[in-house]
Structure 1
């Protein structure tokens, strides 16, 4: 065989090996385990598990890294320790990007979040209708007695209402001071601070009437006992649930967007409240709750 022919076959063999190697690399990447994280509270754990189940049902290998501290989870994503986790649009803008959400709609906040995380090699998918925002609740019996269903009505009737608070809420600019500034001074009948974990016990014991909440807390499903007041002047921004994911992970696994967007579309505020209730009030395991919810909402192959 001529020398030139050997060279041709040699080049062909090398080129073939390179192509096979590249294809193998992409196949391996496609089958790498997707590492899903969560923060260390119920709602994040449940939603993270729902994401994991959804991806597994579509053939992805998933590794779970749940219960990550709020203070480090974003950095864990940036540095590639995890690939994605459930976050909130308002948290991204205010806590990570250090930008204001004042006067902005849920859509505008979500867009700010999406644009802002690009510098860190991250992106957001579609945000859920579920909004885990700051809120104020009141005993339903008191709401009915004094016709208090908005923060404006609470301000007018504050002298008849006992506030069950925490020291932090009394001082944060976006909490009671913010309410005083936007709605007018709240001259509550009394203001007493308790540990946040005790607030429902205090209210149920009749020792207080109104109290700060996150709007997806499971106890709030008991509308006969508690009424969430409407923030009628828009003091508190939207904190819509949203998958936060590494750009590299998404580019290698583009179908993740479709899968998780379908999940998030069903996660309303009411749904999140019910999921939280099953864990925090009924005492069920969050993984069991997530599994049952997914089975009820998605057929095999969806």
Structure 2
């Protein structure tokens, strides 16, 4: 039986690893329920937001703080408590006629990363735990994080009341190499970067909420969201993928150069979510 509504469900994806993979998962889950799908890639989150709002794209995965920054009348925050940001975002989405169908489980935040061996030796788990050591550490930062007063390194140092001994701004492609070679002691990275696991690094918990939370969230055009079968088809993704799992999947794309459709299928099939 063909599902009711427009024939093809249009899924938007941004042009990077996890977006391609999750987009393929969404398509496979919907196709299992009889929907035809089209994956439309290449747009950034601002363009996708407007496209979903207008009904040109039916759904896509965004991140809580990315949406927060797009809201014209967003409530200012000093500490980025995830629940508070989520509530502000959900309110703004509802006003724009977009359904927030839920969180996927992983986050793509900025995180401070250190070698796991040193973290274990010093029992450093949170950014607060760095306080006694920061003045003697060299921090490698990308150029954006280095200068972002509201949510980057200046805000981290203000909230935690410490400063790194030296900060070296650099191209983000060089930060992991610098950490591996010992040229810096800590770097900023993204939660789902596969190199965190690959290089045996520890991502520190932002226990004082100095940096914005980027929970992956599923956004659906309000009209499409009225189709309960679509929401039910996608429900296995809600709270279904944690950050460690997303790093592993991203590694298959980034390091092993696998096709995202194959990665998605080989994630869903063993879990009984789609037929082999």
Once residues 32 and 273 of structure 2 are traced to their aligned partners in structure 1, the CA distance between those partners, rounded to angstroms, is 10
Once residues 139 and 209 of structure 1 are traced to their aligned partners in structure 2, the CA distance between those partners, rounded to angstroms, is 8
Give the CA deviation at 1:146: 4.0
CA contact (8 A) 2:106 2:216 kept: yes
Where does 1:242-281 land on structure 2 (aligned, <5 Å)? 242-251=217-226, 253-281=227-255
Higher strand residue share? 2
**Structure 1 residue corresponding to 2:206, chosen from 225, 231, 238:** 231
| Alignment: residue pair count | 273
Give the CA deviation at 1:180: 1.4
Q: CA 1:101–1:95 in 2, change beyond 3 Å: closer, same or farther?
A: farther
Larger Rg: 1
CA contact (8 A) 1:102 1:237 kept: no
Structure 2 unaligned blocks of 5 or more: none
Higher helix residue share? 1
Q: Is 1:194 aligned to 2:170, yes or no?
A: yes
Q: CA RMSD in A?
A: 2.3
Q: CA 1:55–1:118 in 2, change beyond 3 Å: closer, same or farther?
A: same
Q: TM-score w.r.t. structure 2 length? A: 0.89
Task: Please give the per-residue CA displacement for 1:104-141, whole angstroms capped at 9, x wherever unaligned.
Answer: 64344333222211232211102122122221001223
Once residues 124 and 74 of structure 1 are traced to their aligned partners in structure 2, the CA distance between those partners, rounded to angstroms, is 12
Once residues 160 and 147 of structure 1 are traced to their aligned partners in structure 2, the CA distance between those partners, rounded to angstroms, is 17
CA contact (8 A) 1:146 1:157 kept: no
| Alignment partner, residue 87 of structure 1 | 62
Give the CA deviation at 1:86: 0.7
| Alignment partner, residue 164 of structure 1 | 140
| Alignment partner, residue 160 of structure 2 | 183
Report the secondary structure of 2:76's partner residue: coil
Report the secondary structure of 1:234's partner residue: coil
Once residues 237 and 286 of structure 1 are traced to their aligned partners in structure 2, the CA distance between those partners, rounded to angstroms, is 28
Q: TM-score w.r.t. structure 1 length? A: 0.82
Report the secondary structure of 2:61's partner residue: strand
Structure 1 unaligned blocks of 5 or more: 1-26
CA contact (8 A) 1:38 1:45 kept: yes
Once residues 28 and 60 of structure 1 are traced to their aligned partners in structure 2, the CA distance between those partners, rounded to angstroms, is 6
